[in-house]
Structure 1
Amino acid sequence: MECYTSDSCDSDAREQKTLDLSGQQLDSSSAESALRERAHSEKKSSEQYEVMLLHCNRIAHFPDSVASFVNLRVLDISNNGLHTLPDILESCPLTSLIAKNNCLSNESLPKSFCNRGAELKELNLSGNLLTSFPDQLLDLPTIKYLYLGGNSISNVPRDVWKMTSLQVLALGGNKIIDVPDSVGQLKHLQMLVLSENNIEQLPASIGKLNHLRTLLLHKNRLRTLPTEIITLKCLTELSLRDNPLVVRFVRDISLQPPTLLELAARTVKLHEVRLQPGDIPHSLYEYLHNAHHCVNPKCKGVFFDSRVEHIKFVDFCGKYRLPLLQYLCSSKCIQNVGSWESRESDPVSRGYMMKKVLLG
């Protein structure tokens, strides 16, 4: 299992005003004594430190004296076997909290990560015992870097969109099966790590991540990718190794018969019947605006809920054939799929994407 670590703190002066007690084999009692002694050794001594390094010790219980360092901005208490994390942010205006590789569970986390006088920008809880995405993190709209890899998290909450400032979201090495559509609303996301999970399918909304540079998907259960992934213009790294991606031509037609509602709606859209709000019930008016166009350029049809899944292969580097999942309005649109797919291929755009895909 890979461990994802953080090196993206915004602090500019880590060498200055740093209290370094790392790697000294301190247990909870000796760490408490060392901090208390340092805090009272000089007048206002505890107020001068902005960075505290306590990693690589044997601190199972969080030292109470940390709270006396009232100007602390960065705290690294990783690799300790820590069992509880108190509401330290109520006393210290932390912008970076690194507590990776401990024994923290969901129940042992503070009820809130909101702090006084500052805004938490980086949180690293990777390599702990979390079984679900901590709900209290959704109340951190200013957090930029979130590392939760190497836990046992089984879900990504739909409300993840509330973390509007996220630039890095690392969830590798968990037990995630589904990725919600709301991930596509993280407009500032530059790095998304979903490797080493049980993900079988990605939402099409991932194509809305216009600033995404790194997308790590290796060691999952992906058989196809959403076509929208090729619209990610900033993407420079896409890792797909160790996925059961389709390696041969597949024609997988799974069509549920359309309902009368869908048939009527398709007819309205096909004949371009103009309707105004009030002409029909509001629910039907909204339904008509949820139509999806068939990807076959020869077809002018639309679909709503009933669709045909089709695998389209895109060549990369003349060596790899990447399967992308598309949706058609009916099985008739798949009969001459080879002819229209070959004509719609753009060698210029293919060359552009060749630089962007890493499969190993």
Structure 2
Amino acid sequence: MEIHEGAAAAVGDGVLDFSRLSLSTFSTDGVSEERKRDTRQLYLNYNRLLALPSSVCVFCNLEFLDISNNGLSAICEGITRLGNLRTLVAKNNRLDEFSLPKEFGCLRLEVLNFSGNRFTEIPLQCTKLPRLQSLSLGGNRLKSIPAEIENLTSLELLYLGGNLITAIPPEVANLPYLSYLVLCDNRIQSVPPQLTRLHSLRSLSLHNNLLTYLPREILCLVHLHELSLRGNPLVVRFVKEMTYDPPSLLELAGRTVKSGNIQYYPGDMPADLLRYLDLASKCPNPKCAGVYFDSCVRQIKFVDFCGKYRLPLMHYLCSPECTSPCSSNPPSDADSEDESSVPAARLQRVLLG
């Protein structure tokens, strides 16, 4: 069936709607030149298109294109000639990382929705869209997030729920305007502490993953208003790991220098030892003046959010003597200091179940 202007279900000023017409081919022969020039929004969703033909580029001023719920396995090269296109919605098709034209990254897109397709990785063309504000790739087969995601410096919403992702790369923290990060229904086991740099983050969806703890740095997300954690092991069972490797002689010496505030100068020791001393981490326990380098206690601590939920956060201490006796006992001084520093209005919603 060919498209002609009279077949459109709804035609308005700047809008052509050919959705739900069971179309298998796309022809613009019946569309006037004036209509082609004036069309700003084009709806071709819920048809039977297997490929987006290059004739779509005749709508030279197109700003919005919806090609969802077809059988598309490829997007034509002609789409790259739509210099005004700002929104592309291509949900529920058969697209994968080989379906996009090579120059797709030259578009000036602000909203891109590829949810419900067959992507196993995020195409690098998608990471070359500097104006992109919203990227949705939920319900695909993604196994990872590329480090090049950091190139999307205008991104405000990143929706990657319902995939096979196992890790969050620290490069996600380089997105200065990211406000909504959706990573639910994946296989993520940990949250990188670098996410503390997401100063604009308001909502973080991590439900239905494999998290057993959260990094303590999450307390620094001062604008976070919603944190979704239901369906994670940290909600079902709290893990406390007390393995501790004794410090080496090198570390013991380094601790002595740092803890005793012993003065040293570049000429006093080899450069590699100077670099080593610069790596010292101060024990977060306020009653301990110690430091550590490689050897520390990896512990789960419980921090109160909103006076209702106690979340397990990863905690590193310099020795077993700094640990609290038991998670079921009242919080230690180190814990209570962190808890008191969390304003009551910080997280408006903590979704644990």
Q: Do they fold alike, i.e. is TM over 0.5?
A: yes
Compute the TM-score of the two structures, normalised by the length of structure 1. 0.84
Q: Say if 1:92 and 1:115, in contact at 8 Å, map to a contact too.
A: no
Return the alpha-carbon distance in structure 2 between the equivalents of residues 71 and 215 of structure 1.
Answer: 36
Question: Could you tell me how far apart the structure 1 residues matched to 2:238 and 2:135 are?
Answer: 39
Change (3 A) 1:134 1:254: farther
2:97, 2:236 → 1: CA distance?
A: 40
> Is the contact made by 2:196 and 2:220 (CA closer than 8 Å) also made in structure 1?
yes
Partner deviation per Cα, 1:181-230 (whole Å, 9 max, x = no partner): 12112111000000000011100111221111111111111111111112
Is 2:229 aligned against 1:240?
yes
Deviation at 1:304, TM superposition (A): 3.4
Contact persistence 2:53–2:76 (CA under 8 A): no
Paired residues for 1:106-145 under 5 Å: 106-115=97-106, 119-145=108-134
Give the one of 255, 265, 269 matched to 2:258: 269
Residue 101 (str. 1) matches residue 88 (str. 2): no
Give 1:102's aligned amino acid.
N
Contact preservation (8 Å) 2:227, 2:347:
no
**Counterpart of 2:52 in 1: which secondary structure?**
coil
Unaligned runs of 5+ in 1: 1-13
Rate the CA distance shift 1:16–1:224 in 2: closer, same or farther, 3 A: farther
Q: Deviation per CA, 1:241-290: give whole Å up to 9, x if none.
A: 11111556654112344455544444443334556678766665555444
Of all paired residues, the percent bearing the same amino acid is 46
Aligned to 1:351: 344
Using a 3 Å threshold, how does the CA distance of structure 1 residues 260 and 135 change in structure 2: closer, same or farther? farther
Q: TM-score, normalised by structure 2?
A: 0.86
Tell me which of 284, 293, 297 is aligned to 2:286: 297
Q: In the aligned structure 2, how far is the partner of 1:331 from the partner of 1:158?
A: 36
1:310 maps to 2:307 = no
Q: Which moved more, 1:326-335 or 1:264-273?
A: 264-273
Report the count of equivalent residues. Answer: 338
Superposition map of 1:1-360 within 5 A? 16-27=13-24, 29=25, 32-33=26-27, 35-38=28-31, 41-42=32-33, 44-93=34-83, 94-115=85-106, 119-245=108-234, 250-259=239-248, 261-273=250-262, 285-335=274-324, 338-341=331-334, 343-344=336-337, 346-347=339-340, 349=342, 351-353=344-346, 355-360=348-353
The amino acid across from 1:107 in the alignment is F
Cα distance, 1:246–1:114 mapped onto 2, change above 3 Å? closer
Deviation at 1:104, TM superposition (A): 0.4
Counterpart CA distance in 1 for 2:224 and 2:254 is 37
Q: Give the deviation of 1:334 after TM superposition.
A: 1.0
More divergent stretch after superposition (120-129 vs 255-264): 255-264
Provide, for residues 50-75 of structure 1, a one-character-per-residue CA deviation record: whole Å limited to 9, x for no partner. Answer: 22111111111112210122221211
Deviation at 1:156, TM superposition (A): 1.0
Distance 1:331 1:266 in 2: 15
Distance 1:281 1:74 in 2: 62
Alpha-carbon distance in structure 2 between the residues aligned to 1:24 and 1:198: 39
Whether the 8 Å contact between 2:307 and 2:344 is mirrored in structure 1 is: no
The residue identity in structure 2 corresponding to 1:154 is K
Hey, what's the Cα distance between the residues in 2 that align with 1:291 and 1:221? 31
| CA distance 1:137–1:276, change in 2 (3 Å) | farther
SS of residue matched to 2:342: helix
1:351 match: secondary structure: coil
Secondary structure of 2:154 counterpart: coil
Shift of 1:88: 3.5
Contact kept in structure 2, 1:230 and 1:353, CA below 8 Å: no
Task: List gaps (5 residues or longer) in structure 2.
Answer: 1-10
Query: CA 1:175–1:221 in 2, change beyond 3 Å: closer, same or farther?
Result: same
